[in-house]
Structure 1
Amino acid sequence: MPVPDHLLMGLEQGQRWRAEGRYRGRYAPSPTGVLHLGNLQTALLSWLQARQAGGLWLLRIDDLDTPRNRPGAVEAIQADLRWLGLDWDGEPMLQSSRRGLYSSWLSWLRRSALLFPCRCSRRELAGLARYPGTCREGSGGWGWRDRRLPSWRLRVPSDDPDRSGDVVVRRADGFIAYQLATVIDELVLGISDVVRGEDLREALPAQRSLYRALQQPPPRFHHGPLRCDAAGRKLSKREASAGLNSLREQGLDAAAVIGLLASDLGSVPSGTRLSAQELLEHLTQKGIHVSHS
């Protein structure tokens, strides 16, 4: 089924921005806690690449998962970015303000018979690289059963080049899934390039399958290195000690933190102090090192 005009109209501005060829990047944290150094490293890389390209850098707050959101986190995210000198263009955008848009695309996908209800639990699917199609041909229905609603999955063709399996687009608790909301936002905002952590590379197959289902081209994806703790584990927002407050308590100012992040990325010698703008000028000739997907 062709995408209806009213949905395509919602993409027109994003399509015009992309057609202009100007770099449009974004940083999209979730307000589930303080930004740790891994989050800030990704923000820095994303900001540097956008500014080096002479483009725009947008701030989007991925706040759809309301049970996990923490009071004051949105304001704290903005304060941390400002303190580091990572300025964004325009007003910050909240995904929670776009629920109607996501629901409209979801309705079209369902009317187009591209979705099916899935009643598999996380426990049943634990350890599987991709969804095995358990409920794909079933008749479990879309309504309540055993006091549970089903999740909604995109019916991804077996010959899909990314072999993503059938992607969840609406969770069993009724929340729009991260993958669908992210894909729609990149399109509406005309995002040309996405810079994010290496851990999100695994989201690429699902998102590319969604772009094909929505009949739209994806942006370019870049993945920066993960920042890990002393034991080699990826940093988590649960580790509040990894945030800026801990570094401030140790006497570090913004120039020291930017130098720390940049030296860990191999861009400047250890102990360097510089602002984000000074780092940008330093890297103008060297280029920003992120992997491309």
Structure 2
Amino acid sequence: MRLLVFGKTGQVATELQRQADVLALGRDEADLSDPAACAAIIRDSNADAVINAAAYTAVDKAEEEEALATVINGDAPTEMAKAAAARKIPFLHISTDYVFDGKGQQPWKPTDAPSPANAYGRSKLVGEEGVRSAGGNFAILRTSWVFSSHGANFVKTMLRLSETRDTLQVVDDQIGGPTSAADIADALLTMAKAMIGGQQGGVFHFSGAPAASWKDFATEIFLQAGRLIDVVGIPTTEFPTPAVRPLNSRMDCSDLDRQFGIRTPEWRLSLARVLSELEAGG
């Protein structure tokens, strides 16, 4: 199975390289701000499938750079998916819960109508629409709250802050599913293998269970890490950000289980593995 991966140093791209023999391209080799060049790489490759694990992920900065975010998150995967379709190979693309507005309390289903509330979500939705219309066998994997032992993420931020503070205020009215990059990579590899074998793709959700708030997540991090930190819950209104965050990021992942046999991961177990890696030095 020859896999071409766009992305090299991000959380999921790093895990893909840990788990499989893939050709991973960094920004110096594949710049997503040049969609045509990315498409050319796919046309000239001998890959059996392509995974796009690269993206513009600066959610707040996207409010000021929506045009650039849309090129990277929208135009690039569109052109990449077209190139993969022309070669008749599967194209797998990571998306986000941010394509939804975050209203209500029911888990979002893949068939629910997107309605992004910020620039980042809009840019990712452009990419989804382009991938879907490219005409090939595609899989869009929407995920959320990604964490790992490397890169910048909530787990590492909480651990760093706890080194100098006894009390931390953490938002408790945003609810979602923390998801380890290792679990996402494993899911993508399983899907890629099946799709190379003829399995049809589609749009799927993948996030950790059970649903939790950021406060819940932080509390579990400190519990497992053995750190006595007082975690105080605050509403989103007390932690304003340039980009609106969805309050409801619950995701219905049942379609992924039915079609690929991929079960929803228990994020507490995945967190334990990440903390063990950090303890061992990453």
Please, what TM-score do these two structures have when normalized by structure 2?
A: 0.28
- Asked which structure has the greater CA Rg, the reply is 1
Which protein is richer in strand relative to its size?
Answer: 2
Normalised TM-score (structure 1): 0.27
